[in-house]
Amino acid sequence: MLTCPLCKKKLPEARRECPTCKADLALLADYHVDMDDSCARAHARTKAGELGEAIWAYLEVLEVDPDHPEARQQVGRVVRAVRQFDQTAFRRWRARMRRQARFRQFPGEPAGPVAWVKIVVAFLLLAVAVFVGYQWGAHVTRQESPPAPTTSP
C-alpha cells in the first residue's frame, strides 16, 4: 500500500499519479512493484530451501517498506532461530569452561575458604610425610651403623 508524500493519503494499489492531489508517484510505484517482485522471489526461495538468499530478498523488501508484514515475520523467525542457537552454543561453551575450571584455578581469581582449607591440609600432609620419612631414615641408620671402634692408649 502506497502513501502519497504530499497529501498523506493511502492508495490501495500502485498508481503513477495520486487521484487526490495529482502528484507524480511513478518512482514510488516502481519501488512498490520491485518490492512485490522481491517478496515473490523471497517466497519462492524460501520454498526452494535457499534460506540465505531468501533472507537477503526479504531484507531488500524491508529496505523499501520497513512495515511489510510478511518480510518482518520471516526475518524475525530467522533472527529468533539465530538468537536461540547463539544462546544454546553459549550455554554449552560456558558449561565446558566450568568443567575445565574445576581442575584448575585461574591466577588472579580470589581463593575462597574451601581453597584455603585444601592448601592447609595439603601442607600439613606434606609436613607429616617429611617428618615420618626423616624419623624412619634416622631409625634405619641407627640400626645399621657399626659399633664405634674403641681406642686403647
pTM (predicted TM-score): 0.43
**Average pLDDT over the chain, rounded to whole?**
79
What integer pLDDT is reported at residue 134 of this predicted model?
Answer: 93
What integer pLDDT is reported at residue 146 of this predicted model?
Answer: 65
In whole angstroms, what is the distance from residue 45 CA to residue 119 CA? Answer: 63
What integer pLDDT is reported at residue 86 of this predicted model?
Answer: 86
What integer pLDDT is reported at residue 153 of this predicted model?
Answer: 58
Q: For the chain, list the domains and their CATH numbers.
A: 2-104 (1.25.40), 107-139 (no CATH)
What integer pLDDT is reported at residue 130 of this predicted model?
Answer: 96
In whole angstroms, what is the distance from residue 11 CA to residue 134 CA? Answer: 100
In whole angstroms, what is the distance from residue 68 CA to residue 82 CA? Answer: 21
What integer pLDDT is reported at residue 2 of this predicted model?
Answer: 64
Tell me which DSSP letter residue 2 carries: E
Low-confidence ranges of the chain (pLDDT < 50): none
pLDDT digits over 85-124, tens only? Answer: 888 888 888 888 887 776 665 555 555 677 788 889 999 9
The per-residue DSSP string of 7-75 comes to T--EESS--SB-TTT--B-HHHHHHHHHHHHHHHHHHHHHHHT-HHHHHHHHHHHHHH-TT-HHHHHHH
In whole angstroms, what is the distance from residue 94 CA to residue 102 CA? Answer: 12
What integer pLDDT is reported at residue 111 of this predicted model?
Answer: 59
